[in-house]
Chain A
Amino acid sequence: MNRKYMQLILMATVLVAAGLSCPIARADAVPQRIEITAKRFAFEPGQITLKKGQPVVLVLKSMDVAHGIRFRDLNVEVKVGAHGTSEVRFTPEKTGDFVGHCSVFCGSGHGQMVLTLHVVD
């Protein structure tokens, strides 16, 4: 009797844990993939709209030299070698406009390479 009682508690615990983990599983499900090309001295596209709480993978492709992109306010950065591809996965947790800059010095127009993320509800 005592053993059955323990089994019931264990099953209940497992079910509750599974229930709690569901939102995380959904969040991990299928992140949106967005391709960005980097070429001296611009990102294409230059603006992207994302949904708050929805995971996303930014795929950064370099068409020439090494580049990077960093969103300081979101603590997100990805770097890519010359003619390479890299990606970074994150979930935007706050709404607003966030400006990312090229994070690998790439020449005279390096400071003009910006990409704006619009994170909406």
Chain B
Amino acid sequence: MKRLITVVAAIALTGIVGCKANSPGQLETRTITFAEHHVFIGNKKQKNPLPNTLQTLADGKEAFSHYCVACHGMDGQNTGVPFVEHISPPIPSLASPDVQSYTDGQLKWILDYGISPSGMPGSKGTLSDDELWSIVVFLRHLPPAGSQGIPDMYTH
């Protein structure tokens, strides 16, 4: 009986500790990053149907400003996002090699479906395909960090 109580208590404790939202360790981060790039995130081979022009870039910047900026900042590099230090898993800089090494098709897939269980939501239906593909172009030409100021919603 005593042994049973000890085992149950150990399982419960493990569960509680496991639920604590600590920052992921290096091994955890590497494993998840690998799995995302090679297993979970599909659509690797799809090409962007939109022309890579200044107009598409401007469209992407505008579409990005609708609500991506709440978490990623105006520059896609988290500038001015007040909770960026307090969220786990952390919000990546979209200019980072981890993000930039996704193919265009994978970036579109992430925009469509999000990444669960991170905080990244899917936007399929909320933004049109045109807008999502134009955001992919914007992600490939992000402005310098801090150059776009702070999102309006955080300046009031």
Contact = CB atoms under 8 A, between A and B. Distances in A.
A26 interface: no
B125 A111 contact: yes
A105 B66 contact: yes
B126 A114 contact: no
B150 interface: no
A108 B66 CA distance: 11
Q: How large is the interface on B (under 10, 10 to 19, 20 to 34, 35 or more residues)?
A: 10 to 19
B127 interface: yes
B128 A111 contact: yes
B66 A111 contact: no
B128 A102 contact: yes
A101 B125 contact: no
A66 to B, nearest CB: 13
Interface in A22-42: none
Interface string A81-121: 00000000000000000000110010011111110000000
B131 A108 contact: no
Interface residues of A, number: 11
A87 to B, nearest CB: 22
B48 interface: no
A101 B126 contact: no
The interface residues of chain A, by DSSP majority, are classed as mixed
A42 to B, nearest CB: 13
A111 B63 CA distance: 11
Contacts of B67: 105
A114 B128 CA distance: 9
Contacts of B129: 111
A110 B67 CA distance: 12
A110 B130 contact: no
B130 A101 contact: yes
Nearest to B62: A105
Contact of A101 (B66, B123, B128): B128
Interface of A: 72, 101-102, 105, 108-114
Which 5 residue pairs across A and B have the least CB separation, nearest first? A101-B128, A105-B66, A111-B128, A111-B127, A111-B125
